[in-house]
Chains A and B, each alone.
Chain A
Amino acid sequence: ETGVTQSPTHLIKTRGQQVTLRCSSQSGHNTVSWYQQALGQGPQFIFQYYREEENGRGNFPPRFSGLQFPNYSSELNVNALELDDSALYLCASSRGGTGNYGYTFGSGTRLTVV
């Protein structure tokens, strides 16, 4: 079975720009979560999508938004980029909406905002 794939792997954007990150969930998984990981910190939960609906959100402003598609792939959109948005963005997928069957993480997208 294929794991979680994220694209692009690296990205450089200018402050104020918008960015879209993409995630393909593991085969058989219908739930996708997104995390932000700053250097030297643990991952911080952004939001989760289950069956194309957001069903959980962390402490992130509305300029962080997402989508989940019928094939369960997902996008993370960030508007009005700030320097502090520079981080590794991780996508995780699971079966069911609760994650009780375990989460599989992708390798992430390294976003640098200059």
Chain B
Amino acid sequence: LAKTTQPISMDSYEGQEVNITCSHNNIATNDYITWYQQFPSQGPRFIIQGYKTKVTNEVASLFIPADRKSSTLSLPRVSLSDTAVYYCLVGLRGGSQGNLIFGKGTKLSVKP
């Protein structure tokens, strides 16, 4: 299973764009890249998923270069409520029999 590396923490200010990069050098051909958001004492929440190039939804954008060895989650104009831990996951689209592999994630702190 592909391992991911992402920064432990990031700081930002309200209204700024935040980009969190995740490295996954040994991503397999069938692997998807998925990002989850988690607030304290809550379960992770699906943000976005992609396979290649760019994916955008109402919450975020996901940029994946051609070699797929990294990906960047982009959060436009963050607010205080975006303070959370963000996890990058790489694997089969639905995990292998439910086995979503979470790392330690990136703790994003948004300041006023």
Interface residues, chain A, with chain B CB atoms under 8 Å away: 4, 31, 33, 35, 40-45, 47-48, 55-56, 58, 88, 90-92, 94, 96-108, 110
Contact = CB atoms under 8 A, between A and B. Distances in A.
Interface residues of B, number: 21
B44 A98 contact: no
B100 A103 contact: yes
Q: Which of B42, B43, B92, B103 has the most CB of A within 10 A?
A: B43
A100 B42 contact: no
B87 interface: yes
Contacts, number: 78
Name the prevailing secondary structure of the B interface residues.
loop
B13 interface: no
10 contacts: A33-B99, A42-B105, A43-B44, A45-B98, A45-B99, A88-B41, A98-B92, A98-B95, A100-B94, A103-B46
Contacts of B46: 102-104
A50 to B, nearest CB: 8
Contact of A98 (B42, B87, B93, B103): B93
A102 B98 CA distance: 10
Interface in B63-110: 87, 92-105
A58 B99 contact: yes
A85 B100 CA distance: 20
B28 to A, nearest CB: 16
